[in-house]
Structure 1
């Protein structure tokens, strides 16, 4: 490996949005050694099943709707 081109690899504490904490190693540069996560598997819509899908009509459907053809 080349010298002087790699970021520092330090131990940090990750604090999840629900307050749980764990220690890991990362290249994130934090002043106090703590990373606060805003999203985790307990509040993200993908994991909780609260995703809102919007159905969008395709080009053909929009054309038929606009010009009244069936």
Structure 2
């Protein structure tokens, strides 16, 4: 293996937008992520629905006739 061609391997803390920190080994000097396992809905079981411009109500109104039986 050639010497002096490989990047330096660092131990860093990846910081999530929620404030959670995870220690990693990488060639990067720092890492910031938007979502992690501590705040992701799949792992937490809490789903966050963001309704922009009433899309959910619009969908329910459009397909309400299919649910009536």
Query: TM-score per shorter chain, which class?
Result: 0.3 to 0.5
Question: With structure 1 as the length reference, what TM-score do the two structures score?
Answer: 0.46
Larger radius of gyration: 1
